[in-house]
A = this chain, B = another copy of it.
Amino acid sequence: MRDFSQDHSTLALNTATLGHNLEGHGAGWSPEQVIDACAERGYGGITFWRRELAGREVEIGARTRAAGLQVVGLCRTPFLTGPLALPSEPEIMDDFHRSIDEAAALGTDVLTIVTGGPEPGTKGVLESQKILADRVARAAGYAAERGVKLALEPLSPATAGNRTCIMTAADALNVCDAVDAPNVGIAIDVYHVWWDTTLAQTLATRGKGRILGFHLCDWLADTSDILLDRGMMGDGVADLKALRNAVESAGYSGLCEVEIFSANTWWLRPPEEVLDTIVTRFRSCC
């Protein structure tokens, strides 16, 4: 397991962590300001969200690399299934392809998939997992031609009503198996999987070479909102070192991306303070 206590060159920022401080809100930071602030602090990379790029994918990707940072990933495809997805399959697939184009233009090789929930009119998740696998399979070649890998991210069962139909690493790997394309893997976010006592075993037996991302935050004991009350590393109950050990034991050696949706705490703090705190916590708690 890598030692981060004196080295945070593997630390990446997911821009969602600055939330209300991004363009149009709070401190109003542009992508360029985020890039500079991360570079100044020795971060290793950044993951952006599509809405921040607005047609400037090529420019922002180049600016990130020029600052010495990796473009770790792009969030995210549209929902591919479920009640929050676009109304028709052609619209879903069109936007899926657009997200792949944007990842390629940005110059990142990882595009995260948040799947969407059970299809309206179905019960349980298995039928939706089949629809998901079919849609991912149909876009996988298009992504491969553009050098983009697709990372299926399991989300907490708390969100399985409408935001996800894969709740565990095992679910995500089942869909990968069904898709059977070399550029489709999984992303592990500690917020979503910290409770899964079978995770290490699943990754050890089935995860080798298939983990495309590792996301950090913490699960607060008294979580008040399932989407927007994530904790800073060290403030919650997740066993972060054990989770990282599970991911690294399965061969993951990439950057560790901090993604904290926190509407009432971290999004309200000055972005400089948030970025500094992340560095400290990354070295001491992760």
Contact = CB atoms under 8 A, between A and B. Distances in A.
Interface in A209-249: 219-223, 226, 236-240, 242
Contact of A162 (B158, B171, B174, B221): B221
**Could you say how many copies of this chain the assembly holds?**
2
Contacts of A122: 237
Contact of A237 (B118, B195, B221, B240): B118
Given A118-B237, A221-B83, A195 B160 contact: yes
A236 B117 CA distance: 12
A156 B221 CA distance: 14
Contacts of A236: 161
A38 B83 CA distance: 36
Given A221-B83, A221-B118, A239 B161 contact: no
A124 B221 contact: no
Contacts of A265: none
Interface in A156-208: 156-158, 160-162, 167-168, 170-171, 174, 194-198
A219 B156 CA distance: 14
Interface in A123-153: 123-126, 129
A284 to B, nearest CB: 13
The 10 closest A-B CB pairs, nearest first, are: A124-B239, A158-B158, A123-B239, A157-B195, A161-B221, A160-B195, A118-B237, A162-B221, A167-B195, A161-B223
25 contacts: A83-B222, A118-B237, A123-B237, A123-B239, A124-B238, A124-B242, A125-B195, A126-B197, A129-B197, A156-B158, A157-B195, A157-B196, A158-B226, A161-B219, A161-B220, A161-B221, A161-B222, A161-B223, A161-B236, A162-B221, A167-B196, A167-B197, A168-B197, A170-B197, A174-B197
Given A123-B237, A161-B236, 20 more contacts: A83-B221, A83-B222, A117-B221, A117-B237, A118-B237, A124-B238, A124-B242, A156-B158, A157-B195, A158-B223, A160-B195, A160-B219, A161-B219, A161-B221, A161-B222, A162-B222, A167-B195, A171-B197, A174-B197, A226-B226
